[in-house]
Amino acid sequence: MRVFKYTVDHSSGKTIRGMIEMEDRAGVFAFFRERHYRVVAVDLASNVEVALHKLRERLSGISRESVIFFVRQLSTLVRSGLTLAQALESLAAQERNHKFRIVIEALKGDIEKGTPFSEALVKYQNLFSQLVIGMVQAGEAAGILDEVLERLASIGLQELEIRTRLRAALTYPIILVSIALLVLGFLLVSAVPKFLEIFRTTRAELPLATTILLNVSQVMRQFWWLIVAGAAGLFFGLSHYYGTRAGRVVMDQFFLRLPVLGDVYLKIAVARLTRSVSALTRSGIPLLRALEISKGVIGNVVVLRSLDQIRAGISQGKSLTELFGGAGIFPPMVVQMVSVGENTGKLDEMLGEVAKFYDLELEYFLRNLTASLEPILLLFMGLMVGFIALAVLMPVFNLVKVFRG
């Protein structure tokens, strides 16, 4: 597959530019002509153009929220009696994001050709997770696609709600810290040096706090570019390291060992795992396959490794309760619920209850996060301002003593 850049005209008169993976140029022309677009230009994209395109896609592409609401609307339309093709046509007509509209129209075209919906979704795995594809496949096989879509929409909305609450809880502390750092930088680079230069000209011995403040200020003024470059290098270096297999393991282990936040990080991963496995097994997917599909939604390599060990143990005929307990990472409550589900034959229900429990715990944690962080941040800002005030005022008191003496 090669990447081509294209320019096409929509029937509405809008010109659309983008990139697409196809075997050859003829495939690109056929793809758009089948969907009634007028092809203006198609060229092979260079590696630099592909990299820039991926960056733009991240910044202004199809959001997760759009995909979640698409599944939600599709579920509603299918349950109302529309065929899958009719529902997709309706959603494509009202979609404002031209990139997503092309995807929906492509899905509709595949459905009209007789392609199963799950196979059509496979072409867009960057948008639709293995959880979505696997559950749709199970729903098609069992003839309950509408129920599966509704279940997927519910899962997606729960994940969206958690992300929204997490973002809202962290916004205030981040803004507060950012303002504090900006004010500190301004004081150290601009205001404080001018004020303290007066004391330096007196040639009097400066207090330790004042000397430290002067040295820090001087370093920031002379080497600000090095500080900025170092911070940027550290950020991109850690991002690259996190993208490697070894780096991902080390960083995920570090996150899990963080006080308080590590426990929350683990509970988020466990909630995703149990919610996914519960939904998949309820849709008729075997447990081993459900665990395999769920690997794509966990987001933590340490938990993934434990999941691989559990899958291997199930293949050897071991008890699920024994495997979860022996993994050494799952909380006792999870092991107990798995045991109850395994003994009663209601594993899907018990796993669903685990996910609900951790969702409630996370909601409580996020609700109290801002209230807990606020006094800590205010204390930090108070200490920072107090140190600067002390460093500036101590020489003043010394000068007053000199003049009086």
Give the domain CATH number at 209: 1.20.81.30
Q: How many beta carbons lie within 10 A of that of residue 96, not counting itself? A: 7
Question: Could you list the residue range(s) of the whole structural domain that residue 132 is in?
Answer: 64-157
Domain count, the chain: 3
Is 270 part of any domain?
Answer: yes
For residue 200, pLDDT beyond 70: no
For residue 405, pLDDT beyond 60: no
Instruction: Provide the pLDDT for residue 87.
Output: 92
339 and 245 together in one domain: yes
Q: Six-digit token pair at 391?
A: 């460093």
Per-residue pLDDT reduced to its tens digit, 303-348: 888 888 898 898 888 888 889 888 888 889 899 998 998 889 888 8
112 and 219 together in one domain: no
- The share of the chain scoring above pLDDT 70, in percent, equals 90
Write down the mean pLDDT value for the chain.
Answer: 82
204 and 122 together in one domain: no
Is 163 part of any domain?
Answer: no
Is 162 part of any domain?
Answer: no
Averaged over 133-158, what is the pLDDT? 83
136 and 200 together in one domain: no
74 and 53 together in one domain: no
CB 288 within 8 A of CB 311: yes
258 and 290 together in one domain: yes
Is 228 part of any domain?
Answer: yes
149 and 194 together in one domain: no
Domain end marker among 105, 125, 157: 157
Is 251 part of any domain?
Answer: yes
Token pair 């040295």: residue: 215
Token pair 């002067």: residue: 214
Domain end marker among 45, 60, 75: 60
Name 273's Cβ contacts closer than 8 Å, sequence gap at least 6: 294, 297, 298, 303, 307
Of the given ranges (24-33, 218-227, 327-336), which has the lowest mean pLDDT?
24-33
87 and 224 together in one domain: no
For residue 59, pLDDT beyond 60: no
CA atoms within 13 A on the CB side of 7: 4
Domain end marker among 157, 178, 205: 157
252 and 341 together in one domain: yes
152 and 174 together in one domain: no
